[in-house]
Amino acid sequence: MTEKLVIIGNGMAPGRMLEHLFECAPDAYRVTIFNAEPRVNYDRILLSPVLSGEKSFEEIVIHGDGWYIDHDITLYKGHKIVEIDRAAKTVRSEHGEVASYDKLVIATGSAPFIIPVPGKDLAGVLTYRDLDDVEAMMLAAKSRGRAVVIGGGLLGLEAAAGLQAQGMDVTVIHLMPTLMERQLDPAAGYLLQRELESRGISVLTKASTRAIHGETRVQSVELEDGTVIPADLVVMAVGIRPNAQLAGEAGLEVNRGIVVDARMQTSDPDILALGECAEVGGATYGLVAPLYQMANVAARHLAGDIGPVFADQSTATRLKVTGVDLYSAGDFAEGEDREEIVLRDASAGVYKRLVLKENRIIGAVLYGEAADGPWFFDHIRNRTDISDMRETLIFGQAYQGGAPLDPTAAVAALPDDAEICGCNGVCKGKIVGAIGEKGLTSLDDVRAHTKASASCGTCSGLVEQLLSVTLGDAYNPQAVKPMCGCTDLGHGDVRRLIKAKELKSIPAVMQELEWKSSHGCAKCRPALNYYLVADWPQDYADDYQSRFINERVHANIQKDGTYSVVPRMWGGVTSATELRAIADVVDKFDIPTVKVTGGQRIDMLGVRKEDLPAVWADLGKAGFVSGHAYAKGLRTVKTCVGSEWCRFGTQDSTGLGIRIEKFMWGSWTPAKVKMAVSGCPRNCAEATCKDVGIICVDSGFEIHFAGAAGLDIKGTEVLGLVKTEDAALEHIVALVQMYREQGHYLERIYKWAKRVGIDEIREQILNDPERRKAWFDRFVFSQKFAQVDPWSERVSGKDKHEFNPLATLTLEAAE
Amino acid sequence: MNMAVQSFIEIGLLADIPRLGARCVRTPEGRIAVFRTADDEVYALEDRCPHRGGPLSQGIVHGSSVTCPLHNMVFSLKTGEAEGADEGQVRTYPVRIEGERLLLHVDALRALGA
Ligand SMILES: Cc1cc2nc3c(=O)[nH]c(=O)nc-3n(C[C@H](O)[C@H](O)[C@H](O)COP(=O)(O)OP(=O)(O)OC[C@H]3O[C@@H](n4cnc5c(N)ncnc54)[C@H](O)[C@@H]3O)c2cc1C
Ligand code: FES
């Protein structure tokens, strides 16, 4: 029987719990999640690389929207639960949504602690907990002003480094005498402070905040000793407090956190709690490793297996600031019964300290050279007796047993149960096993199958060493990623060889480039088909069986197997006659949904496949051609009304949009291409997030490219300013042709531009008129073969077989 | 067509299906996808992906496999089993080629109806 499981909070702990739950009891629950944050589950640990600009938000998403669909989970994004009614077994969100549960899981995480000083509510005073905080910091950093970070712990220092990377002038204020005193001893704290100061971050220790000043926005921070530090942004990172209030109001037992037993059960048998909000055995936790252990226990509990219990474990920490190598694990306070081993190398900036008790390591602090961290941590957790290696212990694993080992050999020597990935609790044996059994060959493969190094990523090096130990020479980290399993060549090589060897058909490519499968696969065939279409427009006959269904039937397949149809509306302009024709088609074919798209077109959804040719025939009579809304090709040119109507318009943006669209429609490209033309810098057509965009200005046309507004969000790059409409068209066409000839299949313009370099593109398209003309001419040539309306072709009978069943059978007398 | 009398029943000609393509047969029990490989082998599978019901007949055919058009699960045309890291099973039906004619086995169909 399927029970209703409701989860409050969608952070890393419940995310992991669900993964375990779907593994051990896939059909036991129908899951509903309420999350105050308006987004899917992401890797909070990696917010710092997002802040510093080293990663994008998309790269740190753990479960994309598809995952929730696949598991039939209802996820309420941006719904905070404000009440748990334990008698009725329901929860209620601030928007009034009510859901009933059989089992409830509370995973509300924790909230940043705000120090109660005057001015704490001023605009510009932030905390560091979620993506909204990161976005607010990045926005504030645009001013390149001054930031003050209150708190010199892990979060504060990561925030400080990130803000500095974004160009701000940063001061860290820390109450204690040394930085990160919870994880580092004073010596390591000192080295860390020196390193940060050498990078230009000011650090004030033993500094207590008295007030934050400002009119409406923050302007300065005042310390107890009277020092005033000017600030345009203040980030408070002084600690966290478990979010237990909601549970407390529902009458559950709460202390510092929500009190649970070792099986994650609260004082109500139908309610579990886990993550940072939970308190087990009197302790709350703020690092993912123990939370993931809770996730496993909770999942088993929900699946009916109450065997596993949570056990306190020591944790290890690294600071995720690029260039700072720091590791801390266990307990390193001094004490009567403790000894220590210290190694310092001042010139190299290395400091290592091990704390021993009864011949066992109980704590380790490594600064400047932290590769041995996991090895020490392993001994801490296994309570290894180190008497035999005491003399050389501090030099690390490489010095045990004679000659120094190279790092790979050191990894090879680790026992199978040595933990490699602390975040996800993955041991060496599991990784090596997966490499062998599943034939994994890359870091990405290992991440996908075992989750090792998929969170904070600091163990990536170890995983790579394991790959090379296990695979030997077969592992080549620098290798280009092959197009697919059918070849060892990457997209770039295949494109180059198609031209160099003048390969003009899919069989020719597969033969000459020694494909390993007889007819390719669903990954390489569409790519090859595109490359051949783009490179040999005159000679190559499109292979329809190598196209995805959408491009084969010129409509978009929907989740129920019906299709959506979008006719072209040049530049987004339409007329009464066109609208009437669309209305008639909708009535005649009983089309359930009609919707305006983001690209200023009309989308008819829910068309049966058999009806497609007739729908197109009727649309064709009204003058419509296919809108290619399904194509890896030119999609739409969005426009604003421009100088013809708009009092701000500087040029005829609508006219130019129509002209571009009429010139370029029908062309295939590596991935979809969306364009826009705005009539003035107010940019109503949103041209600055398109693949190609134009902003009209008084003096001409500013050409933009390489924007994105889908999974990734990215403003465009400016190619340059041209004076006339003709010049604008020539530049855009040349740019797109360059992309058509160089892009890898499914690689959007912004990714291609990143790969080949913005300057190179500008050089060829803007500064070199001959090259530009050559690109332009090749595009024009290929259009001769491409500008055929696929709809009218099919109305006149092409590929008729696509749209009708082969046979219709009835079962007479068979029942 | 009366399916009670014969067990293999003609559904069309080999030439009706493009190489590395598929066509559908409608039956009271749902659609059946009939695939043709590059080597002119023919296979029949239920036209419903066990994942989320994707129409397999609309997928890309490669070797003796088909990739579902909705989320790219790959199925063996010979056994109907999912390939790679995924799990799943699609029903298969016997088909025979006699000269140019394609014959679909009907008992299998009826078993499905029962
Ligand atoms: C910048 C940063 C860096 C970090 N680095 C590390 C690191 O290097 N190593 C490490 O181990 N840990 C690190 N951590 C800590 C780690 O991220 C957390 O321990 C972990 O994410 C907590 O998971 P959780 O599921 O308990 O809670 P969270 O991930 O905080 O999720 C709780 C969610 O519940 C939502 N919520 C709260 N109340 C309600 C309500 N009433 N109704 C609905 N939804 C609600 C919140 O909006 C939130 O999305 C870091 C944390 C931060 C912020
Ligand atoms: S429906 Fe077939 S892969 Fe999802």
pLDDT at residue number A812: 46
Rounded CA-CA distance A84/A251 in Å is 9
- Which of A809, A810, A815 should be substituted to probe chain B, the one whose Cβ sees the most B Cβ atoms within 10 Å? A809
Residues of B in contact with A518 (CB under 8 A): 38, 63
For residue A449, the chain B residue with the least C-alpha distance is: B85
Q: Do B55 and A561 touch (CB under 8 A)?
A: yes
Single out the residue of A219, A237, A217, A218 nearest to residue A159, CA to CA.
Answer: A237
Residue B2 belongs to a domain: no
pLDDT at residue number B6: 57
How close A552 gets to chain B, by Cα (Å)? 9
Residue B87 belongs to a domain: yes
pLDDT at residue number B110: 61
Residue B21 belongs to a domain: yes
| CA–centroid distance, residue B79 to ligand 2 (Å) | 17
**Contact status, residue A614 vs residue A804, Cβ threshold 8 Å:** no
Residue B107 belongs to a domain: yes
Percent of chain A predicted with pLDDT > 70: 97
Residue A602 has pLDDT above 60, yes or no: yes
Q: What is the ipTM of this complex?
A: 0.74
Q: Buried b / exposed e across A608-635, counting CB within 10 Å, b at 16+?
A: ebebbbbbbebbbebebbbbbbbbbbbb
Phi, psi of A245 (to 5 degrees): -60, -45
In chain A, the domains with their CATH numbers are 3-110+242-302 (3.50.50.60), 125-238 (3.50.50.60), 491-546 (no CATH), 550-621 (3.90.480.10), 634-783 (3.30.413.10)
pLDDT at residue number B5: 45
- The average pLDDT across A392-406 equals 66
- The average pLDDT across A657-684 equals 94
For residue B2, the chain A residue with the least C-alpha distance is: A812
| CA–centroid distance, residue A608 to ligand 2 (Å) | 19
Rounded CA-CA distance B45/A610 in Å is 20
Residues A526-585 pLDDT 10s: 999 999 999 999 888 888 888 888 888 888 888 888 999 999 999 999 999 999 999 999
| CA–centroid distance, residue A314 to ligand 1 (Å) | 19
How close A655 gets to chain B, by Cα (Å)? 38
* Mutation probe of ligand 1 site: the residue of A12, A62, A327 with most atoms within 8 A of C-beta: A12
Burial bucket for residue A505 (CB in 10 Å: 0-12, 13-18, 19+): middle
Phi, psi of B46 (to 5 degrees): -60, 135
CB-nearest to B2 from A449, A808, A812 is: A812
Single out the residue of A676, A668, A674, A675 nearest to residue A631, CA to CA.
Answer: A668
pLDDT at residue number A420: 83
Residues of B in contact with A800 (CB under 8 A): none
Question: In the numeric block, which tokens belong to residue A125?
Answer: 């005073």
pLDDT at residue number A400: 67
Cβ-Cβ contacts under 8 Å for A382 (sequence gap 6 or more): none
3-class DSSP assignment, residue A407: helix
Q: Buried b / exposed e across A673-703, counting CB within 10 Å, b at 16+?
A: bbbbbbbbeebbbebbbbbbbbbbeeebbbb
pLDDT at residue number A688: 94
Question: In the numeric block, which tokens belong to residue A684?
Answer: 């109503």
Query: Within a 10 A sphere around the Cβ of A807, how many other Cβ atoms?
Result: 20
Q: Structural domain tally of chain B?
A: 1
The CATH number linked to B36 is 2.102.10.10
Rounded CA-CA distance A762/A718 in Å is 9
pLDDT at residue number B1: 46
Q: Is A459 among the annotated ligand-binding positions? A: no
pLDDT at residue number A627: 84
Secondary structure in 3-state letters for A781-797: HHHHHHCCCHHHHHHCC
Tell me which residue range forms the domain holding B54: 17-111
User: Which is the closest atom of ligand 1 to the Cα of A48?
Assistant: 1
**Contact status, residue A779 vs residue A734, Cβ threshold 8 Å:** yes
Residue B74 belongs to a domain: yes
Residues A726-744 pLDDT 10s: 999 999 999 999 999 999 9
The beta strands (E) that lie in A442-567 are given as 556-557, 563-565
3-class DSSP assignment, residue B15: helix
**Contact status, residue A634 vs residue A670, Cβ threshold 8 Å:** no
A797: left (phi over 0), alpha (psi -120 to 50) or beta: left
In what side-by-side order are the strands of the sheet with B74-76? B60-62, B65-67, B74-76
pLDDT at residue number A815: 31
User: Which is the closest atom of ligand 2 to the Cα of B69?
Assistant: 2
Residue A768 has pLDDT above 90, yes or no: yes
**∠A717-A723-A728 over CA atoms, to 5°?**
55
**Contact status, residue A260 vs residue A274, Cβ threshold 8 Å:** yes
Residue A591 has pLDDT above 80, yes or no: yes
Q: Do B18 and A522 touch (CB under 8 A)?
A: no
pLDDT at residue number A566: 94
pLDDT at residue number A98: 95
Question: In the numeric block, which tokens belong to residue A486?
Answer: 């059918």
Residue B99 belongs to a domain: yes
Residue B3 belongs to a domain: no
User: Which is the closest atom of ligand 1 to the Cα of A111?
Assistant: 30
Ligand 1 contact via A107 beta carbon (within 6 Å): yes
CB-nearest to A810 from B1, B10, B71 is: B1
Residues A200-227 pLDDT 10s: 999 999 999 999 999 989 999 999 999 9
Q: Is A640 among the annotated ligand-binding positions? A: yes
pLDDT at residue number A710: 80
Single out the residue of A650, A637, A646 nearest to residue A721, CA to CA.
Answer: A650
Residues of A in contact with B31 (CB under 8 A): 805
Q: Do B25 and A808 touch (CB under 8 A)?
A: yes
Which amino acid is residue B77, in one-letter code?
Answer: L
Percent of chain A predicted with pLDDT > 90: 53
Lowest mean pLDDT among A242-246, A411-415, B50-54: A411-415
Question: In the numeric block, which tokens belong to residue A223?
Answer: 């310390």
Ligand 1 contact via A108 beta carbon (within 6 Å): yes
Residue A312 has pLDDT above 90, yes or no: no
pLDDT band for position A295 (cuts 50, 70, 90): very high
DSSP state of A548: -
| CA–centroid distance, residue A793 to ligand 1 (Å) | 55
DSSP state of A618: H
How close B81 gets to chain A, by Cα (Å)? 17
pLDDT averaged over every residue in chain A: 89
Residues A611-639 pLDDT 10s: 998 998 899 888 898 888 888 999 999 99
Residues A68-97 pLDDT 10s: 988 999 999 999 999 999 999 999 999 999
How close B39 gets to chain A, by Cα (Å)? 10
Residues A118-139 pLDDT 10s: 999 999 999 999 999 999 999 8
- The average pLDDT across A743-749 equals 94
Q: Is A521 among the annotated ligand-binding positions? A: no
Strand A202-204 relative to strand A169-173, pairing? parallel
User: Which is the closest atom of ligand 2 to the Cα of B56?
Assistant: 2
- Who has greater pLDDT, A86 or A367? A86
For residue A802, the chain B residue with the least C-alpha distance is: B23
pLDDT averaged over every residue in chain B: 85
CB-nearest to A805 from B25, B29, B38 is: B25
pLDDT at residue number B2: 44
Q: Is A24 among the annotated ligand-binding positions? A: no
pLDDT band for position A443 (cuts 50, 70, 90): confident
For residue B66, the chain A residue with the least C-alpha distance is: A522
pLDDT band for position A321 (cuts 50, 70, 90): confident
Q: Do A548 and B72 touch (CB under 8 A)?
A: no
The residue whose two tokens read 């000083």 is A117
Residue B35 belongs to a domain: yes
**∠A564-A566-A571 over CA atoms, to 5°?**
160
Residue A22 has pLDDT above 90, yes or no: yes
pLDDT at residue number A769: 94
Q: How far is CA A616 from CA A45, A565, A589, in A?
A: 51, 9, 11
- Which of A521, A630, A806, A808 should be substituted to probe chain B, the one whose Cβ sees the most B Cβ atoms within 10 Å? A806
Phi, psi of B30 (to 5 degrees): 120, 175
- Who has greater pLDDT, B29 or A169? A169
User: Which is the closest atom of ligand 1 to the Cα of A422?
Assistant: 11
A113: left (phi over 0), alpha (psi -120 to 50) or beta: beta
Which amino acid is residue A464, in one-letter code?
Answer: E
